[in-house]
Amino acid sequence: MIHSMIKTREFEGKSEKEAIDKAIEALALDREAFDVEILVNERKGLFRKGSVKIRIHLHDDALPVTVPTEGESKLIAFLKTLLKKMGFPGEVTISFREDMKIGLDISSRFSGILIGKRGKNLDALQVLTNVYAGRIGLKEMRIIVDAEKYRVRREESIIRLARRTADQVKRSQRSRLLELMNPFERRLIHTTLNKVENIDTISEGEGLLKQVRVIYREH
């Protein structure tokens, strides 16, 4: 579906660059396709984070903007309504589309709360959104819900943890048990250390959240 009537949209970020990047990603346009109006520019201080809000104005000759399909629009509306009912309203945009996978990005001044400790609140929102997706005929699609690029940062953190732990296990030749993790996080540990010499990994525990044990092996 092509939407050529939208000429202005608003985006927020910690900096002007981040807000512009969000606009480029959400609208699938080149930077040259729109002008930027700064609405809010709160500089970073000792006790506050920086915040920038922009309004983008599309050029008349800009390439048409692709808007979400009907199913995607329903997902966006569902998540926005859910956030509002929780008391933490925010904007929801499509962050990426891949084969059988859709990314939804939340932009909200309550992002810290919505993410929660180690992403638990974000995971809960993702589960609910995937349940809803199944009800509207998108059962085969996997919906990824993110905010403030938390999942990217968490993935990088887990990979660093895996490598650091492997080094410790090699030096001590004693196994180490990591924190409770969800299936995706555990898979990252296993994959990262799969080909590391003298290192094996195994998941321990019951239920969705389990721990990964990093083990020293003589080969």
CATH number of 153-216: 3.30.1370.50
Mean pLDDT score across all residues of the chain = 86
Domain ranges of the chain: 2-66, 70-148, 153-216
Structure token digits, residue 193: 């250390």
pLDDT in tens, 125-169: 999 999 999 999 988 888 999 998 898 889 899 999 999 999 999
Could you give the CA distance from residue 109 to residue 63 in angstroms, rounded to a whole number?
31
pLDDT in tens, 23-77: 887 776 777 778 888 888 877 655 556 688 898 887 766 554 444 578 899 999 9
Note the CATH architecture for domain 70-148.
Answer: 2-Layer Sandwich (3.30)
Q: What is the pLDDT of residue 174?
A: 94
